Structures are given as structure tokens and as C-alpha cells.
Structure 1
């Protein structure tokens, strides 16, 4: 059975609305049990909430009567209310409560790093919100007591979705979603900062700066405090037209392949591009949003994007990962280990342990390679698809071995800014800047270094 509490109270069975509880107070008692589904709710708490601390003398008898009627109406749908001590428990197995699902989706979205997945989860969560909690059932006083945590969670979900939408270039959508909300919550700084960023990206710099001034005035006049550090930083960057504001917390350039957000190819070799799936190598932890290698599907799509496997292989790998997510996650962890060792190997020729680790990966890959014909009639070594989900790891390891055996490894450069660290080949010896501008520094401020020579000194 499905219960909807976010908005008018509804009970549904097989998609159809069913009548549960003939009186408003009965439905209110049911809702209070559903808000703590699977947990004990004491009779005293039900009385205190239902009558807001001023119960009539017959309150205990009334609660007992309400529970009896609810049990009778819920029996046909397999919903059970159990008596435990001086209280009741609504058994939650097999039933769906929108509040519980809303909490789960927002919490899940808070830990994912892929902005597309985060938007998808939060769209599902926010779609459950049909209005104020128990809009037609609870009294205003009760709703205010119950709804505080849910209102905060909803605002947090909106903020998380807006940030993810900005990362996907959806600033117009963010402006539309947040403008009225900021009027409703004018001193909620996270909302204001996100809306200012969206306005700036939409070429509305003056509107963004005006919003800051209005918000600062409200904070100072109403509360007596200045804006917080994040809001001040967004304001400062807008004044400076700082290009990092275009993609806060993640590298500047990206491409989309099969709905996956991938780094732009600028390194000059697949092994370098693999290392560049993580910007901010010097940061611990890395910069928020800098991790490109978010999931196995991203790894498989990226491997095809740089030409290490063909499109047919990518489709097969994606399907395999969908059928065996645990194995796919283990291979992704293995790929990240390879990436860390390869980066260390390329940036420090003296790191024998890192070189030996990459060599073991390469030797394992060599045992799976097959020599096949290209469309142009030539031949090339490719990882055998019989290796299953490990194909991308083998492909990258073989590419890494190829680079480590090539004199071009001596021309690998890295941006010295610890917030960046991207690698690229520079056979001319003339490039002195980070082509991604991920670190936000100009060539005049920070020239890039030749990795091999820097380490040799």
C-alpha cells in the first residue's frame, strides 16, 4: 500500500485512492504512525501532538477508538498496527511512505558525485512534494512542529539539485527555479550564492551583484551579521569576472559522450588522458567535482572515447556492468589504483615501486591482447573482450606501457599548481601553461614544468 503525506493525505492501493479513516483525527493518528513507520509511538506522544499539549480527559479513550477503527479499515490491505507496551507500531514491511522515500532519495543524492545522477535522484525526490505536510489533515500548530526537518531537507535537496544543474550548464533552469524561492528565504546564503552564479552565467552580472547587495542589507539589518565566506567569495569572483566561476569546483573543459561527462582530450596520449581523469592531484581530499572517473560506465565510455576499444566493446561493457555491479565496482577500484601508480610513475622517474606496479598491470594486459585488422586494412593490438569487465584496465595498462617505453615520456609536462596537476606532452618544449586553465592561473603567473627534468634535478 502507498501512503502520501507530502501534501493532502492519500492512501492508495494498486494506484487507486482508498478511504482510510472516516474522521480527520483518525487520519492524523495514522499519519503520525507513518512518520515513524516501524518504530514505537507512545500513546502519550500521540495525545500530546494531536491536542497540542491540551488534551481532553477522554483523550486516551479517543486514541484507543481511533486505533481500533484504523485497524479495521487497514486489514483488507495487509497493513498492521501492533500494540507494544504503552504505544503502537505501524509495521512498515511491504508498504511505501512518500516521506520515507523522499528522505532516502535526498540522502542518496547527497553522496553521489555524478551531477546527472544527482539531478535524476533529486527530481524524483522533489516530485513527491505535492504541498505542505498533511495539508488537509493536521492543524497548523501540529504541521509546524512536524514539518521543520522536512522543510529543511527539501531546501537542501533544491540546493543540491541547483548545484548539479549548474555543473551540467543548466543555469537558465536554475534561475527559474530559485528566483521565487530566494524571495521566500532571502537570507539563506546557499540559495543566494547559487542563484548569483546562475545569473552571472546567463550574462546577468548586474542582477547578480544587485542580489548580493539586497541580501547583505537584509543580513546586516535583520540579524546584524555580514555575509558568510562562500557568499562573499562568489561576489568577489563576479566583480573580477573570474572564469573559474563558470565551473566552480571542477575543470573548465569537458565533453559529453553517451550522456557521460568526460575530460577534453588535451594530453596527447591516452595514458596521460587517463591520469587527467582526476584534476587536483595535490589536494587531499581532491577538489570537489574534480573526479571524472565516477563509475564503471564512465570508465567504459571513456575507453571508447580515446580509441582504446571500439563502440561495440563499449556497449558490451556497459551491459556487463549493469548485470554485475559489484564486479564492475571492483574493477573500477583497480583502475583507480592503476591511475595513481601511473601518475606517480610519470611524474617521478625515480619511483621504482610505482613503475613496477604499472609493469605488473601491463604484463597482465599483454596476456589478453589480440592482433586484429583495422578498417583501413592495418593491424593493431587490442584487449580481448573475453577479459570481460577488466578490458578497460588492460587497455589502459597496455597504453601506459607503450608510453613508458617511448622517448616522448621525457617531454611530459605537468601544471605545477597543486590545485591542477594535469599532464600533457610538449615535444616542442615551448608550452608553458596549463591548457585546461583548470588551476585558474595565467602563463605569466605560473609556467608549467617539464616533469622528467624537474624530477632529475
Structure 2
């Protein structure tokens, strides 16, 4: 049985609504238990919430009566309300609030912008209106659902920023502008939607949204807009070109909606190690290129380590098995860290051994195929599954470690760089793109 609380209260069984509770307070009591599914809610808390802090003398007896009626209505559907200590609990059931929270936290925990948008969008789509729209008024809604609403808005802000970073301002306007209108004091959300409106040639609408937010902040909180919102407003007024497009990482190429580092290392294994911001010093926000499994797969295709059709199948498989894809991504990051150490410190035997294990694992699933250019290449077989891009990177690493040119690998000495490159002539002092731009390597 499924319960929906994000909007009007609904109980669903086999796709059809099930009537539960003859009275509004009975349904509200069940909703309170569902919000705390798996945990005990005391009778004192139930009476406080059901009567908004002023329960009558008969409140405890009325709660017991409501619970008896709910048990009779729910037990045929396999849902039990148990008595525990001084309260009641509903065993874990399918509730949209719990599903929303799980998706929102999963979205916040992924580094891949596209995956973040997918998970965050799925979470936001569960909202059909205010929590328990037909059962409670705003003061009680804030008490019961305040944290969920905050998580909703935080997730929306995250999706807005990710969509803007990927250049999808049209989706921000279509899907999230209404939420900014409803919550004008959420400055991050408003600033993001204003930027999307401006990029959609709707400057007047962006300025109207700012005016609404400015008035709401003054009347509700007694404050002026913060620096982020004010900066977007001023840039819109002067037509600042920085608002026109998402900021691209430096020295990057766009492939299949993913930012990948330029191929400057003269070998795929070196490019696998390199990041936008480099490996030395403090990392620049957004400098990490290996943000998600899909980026890893697209990179392998871009480096001709996998074919295009295989990558398309891998991206679909990763969508079906996100946990498996995340596990492969973690392994790829570990391989990259050990390979970087191995290349910058050839005496580190443990790093070499760690990379060797990946190379040997990849070798067991490699097949030799003829490419479109007529040349033969080693590629992971179909048996590799989601591990294919990891094995492709590992095979490339093994090739480099067996190549005498490995001994000419250098790392840019800049404190904020560390890019790897081949220096067979022994004359280069810094990487070819000079990502660090610091005096000590100029």
C-alpha cells in the first residue's frame, strides 16, 4: 500500500485510492504516524498536534478511538499500527515523503551534474502541492513538514545550478520558475531562476521576480537582498555577458554534455590523471573532471578506448544500476590516484602493485578488434559490463607503464598545478597549457 502526503492525503492500493479514516483528524493522525514511519510517536505528541497545542480533556481517549478505527480500515491491506510504550507506530511502508528524502539526499551526494538533475528532478516531481494540503493549515504544516519543505527548496536550488551549468536554462524556466515565485525569500533559488529568465530573453520577467523577492525579504524578514541576488540583478541591468552562458572549465572540451580535459598529455593514461585544477595545492571549485560514471564512459570513448555504441549501452546500464556505476567510479578514482603516484614517484612499489592489479584484471576481459580505420585495438569485452571504462583506463595505464617513455613523464612544478606531460627532450619546465599560471613556472 502506498501513502502520499506531498499534496493532498492519499492512500493507494493497486493504483486505486483507498478510503481511510472517516474524520479529518483520523487521517491526520495516520499522516503523523506515516511521517515518522518505523518510529514511535507518543500519545502526548499526537494530542498536541491534533488539537494544535490545546487538547481537550478527552483527547487521549479520542486518540485511542481513532487508532482503533484506523486499525480496522488498514489491517485488510497489511498495514499495522502497533502500540509501543506510551505511543503508536506504523511499520515501514511506502510513503512519498521518505522516497523524496532518499532521492534528494542521493542527488546531493553525487558529483555528476546530469545525475544530480535526474535524481533531484525525480524527488521534486513527487510534490503535488503543500504537505497534507487538505488536512492542515500553514502553522501546523510548518511544524510537521518544515524540514521537508526546506529540503525541497534546497534540492530545487541544486537542480537550478546544475541545469545552468549544463546550459539548460530553458528547463529551469519550465520546471522551477513557479517554485521561485512561491518562495521569493529563497535568494539562491530566485537568483538562479532570474539568470535562466535572462538567458531566455525574458529580462523583464527576471526583474519582476527580483522586485517580488526584494519586497518579500523586506516585509517578512526585514532585510535587503544578499550579495548573490543583488549581483545577478545588477548584471541583468547592465547586460553583463557573464550571465549569457554557463562558465566553462578552463582547458576543457564539451563531449556529450560532459566537460572533459583537453588531451594534452600525449597519452590517454596521462590525461586520465590530469584534472582541470591540477593535483597540487588547494583545489579550484569545479576543477574535478571525473564527476560521475557517465563522464568516465564518455571520456573513454573520446580517447578511442571504447567505441561509441558501447558507451551508449553503458550509459543506459548505469541509469538502471546507479549503485553499480558509483562503485565502478570509486574504483576509477582509486586507480587514478595510484597511477598518478606511480608516475610521479617511480620508486613507490605499492603504487605500482595497486595499478598492476587493475591492469591484470582488465587483461582478463580484453578482446582484439578491428577499428574503422582498419587498425586492431584492444577493447573490454561485453562481459566487462559497467567496468568497461575502468578496464579501458587500466589497460591504457599498463601500456604507459610498459613504455620507456614513462621515464620522461614530468609533473608541472606549479604549486597549484601538477599536470602530467611527456618531456622526451628534457627542456620543458611546465605543462603546455600552463593551467597554474603562477610566477614560479612562468
TM-score, scaled to structure 2: 0.78
Q: Distance in 2 between matches of 1:219 and 1:327?
A: 44
1:223-262 correspondence runs (5 A): 228=226, 230-231=228-229, 246-248=245-247, 250=249, 253-257=252-256, 261-262=258-259
Counterpart position of 2:336: 339
Counterpart position of 2:304: 307
Tell which deviates more after alignment, 212-221 or 42-51: 212-221
Indicate how the Cα distance of structure 1 residues 35 and 365 shifts in structure 2: closer, same or farther if over 3 A, else same. Answer: closer
| SS of equivalent residue, structure 1 residue 147 | helix
Matched, 1:52 2:52: yes
Counterpart position of 2:191: 193
Indicate how the Cα distance of structure 1 residues 181 and 9 shifts in structure 2: closer, same or farther if over 3 A, else same. Answer: closer
| SS of equivalent residue, structure 2 residue 348 | helix
Tell which deviates more after alignment, 29-38 or 376-385: 376-385
Indicate how the Cα distance of structure 1 residues 8 and 289 shifts in structure 2: closer, same or farther if over 3 A, else same. Answer: farther
Post-superposition shift, 1:102?
Answer: 1.3
Consecutive unaligned residues of structure 2, counting only runs of 5 or more, are none
Counterpart position of 1:20: 20
Counterpart position of 2:260: 263
Whether the 8 Å contact between 1:113 and 1:289 is mirrored in structure 2 is no
1:40-189 correspondence runs (5 A): 40-92=40-92, 95-189=93-187
Whether the 8 Å contact between 1:413 and 1:449 is mirrored in structure 2 is no
| SS of equivalent residue, structure 2 residue 11 | strand
Q: Distance in 1 between matches of 2:49 and 2:185?
A: 31
Post-superposition shift, 1:274?
Answer: 1.5
Q: Distance in 2 between matches of 1:148 and 1:327?
A: 34
1:355-374 correspondence runs (5 A): 356=352, 360=356, 364=360, 373-374=370-371
Post-superposition shift, 1:292?
Answer: 2.2
| Partner deviation per Cα, 1:25-70 (whole Å, 9 max, x = no partner) | 1111111111111111111111111111222222122111111111
Post-superposition shift, 1:134?
Answer: 1.3
| SS of equivalent residue, structure 2 residue 88 | strand
Whether the 8 Å contact between 2:342 and 2:352 is mirrored in structure 1 is no
Post-superposition shift, 1:156?
Answer: 0.9
Consecutive unaligned residues of structure 1, counting only runs of 5 or more, are 451-457
Counterpart position of 1:454: none
Whether the 8 Å contact between 1:361 and 1:394 is mirrored in structure 2 is no
Q: Distance in 1 between matches of 2:173 and 2:251?
A: 21
Indicate how the Cα distance of structure 1 residues 391 and 287 shifts in structure 2: closer, same or farther if over 3 A, else same. Answer: same
Post-superposition shift, 1:202?
Answer: 4.6
Post-superposition shift, 1:20?
Answer: 0.7
Q: Distance in 2 between matches of 1:311 and 1:395?
A: 13
Q: Distance in 2 between matches of 1:78 and 1:366?
A: 49
Counterpart position of 1:4: 4
Whether the 8 Å contact between 1:81 and 1:90 is mirrored in structure 2 is yes
1:415-434 correspondence runs (5 A): 416=414, 418=416
Counterpart position of 1:32: 32
Instruction: Give the CA RMSD over aligned residues.
Output: 4.6
Indicate how the Cα distance of structure 1 residues 175 and 274 shifts in structure 2: closer, same or farther if over 3 A, else same. Answer: same
Q: Distance in 1 between matches of 2:140 and 2:15?
A: 29
Q: Distance in 2 between matches of 1:415 and 1:210?
A: 50
Whether the 8 Å contact between 2:24 and 2:135 is mirrored in structure 1 is yes
Q: Distance in 2 between matches of 1:109 and 1:357?
A: 35
| SS of equivalent residue, structure 1 residue 89 | strand
TM-score, scaled to structure 1: 0.75
Indicate how the Cα distance of structure 1 residues 190 and 426 shifts in structure 2: closer, same or farther if over 3 A, else same. Answer: farther
Indicate how the Cα distance of structure 1 residues 357 and 99 shifts in structure 2: closer, same or farther if over 3 A, else same. Answer: same
Counterpart position of 1:353: 348
| SS of equivalent residue, structure 1 residue 352 | coil
Post-superposition shift, 1:281?
Answer: 2.6
Indicate how the Cα distance of structure 1 residues 41 and 121 shifts in structure 2: closer, same or farther if over 3 A, else same. Answer: same
Post-superposition shift, 1:12?
Answer: 1.0
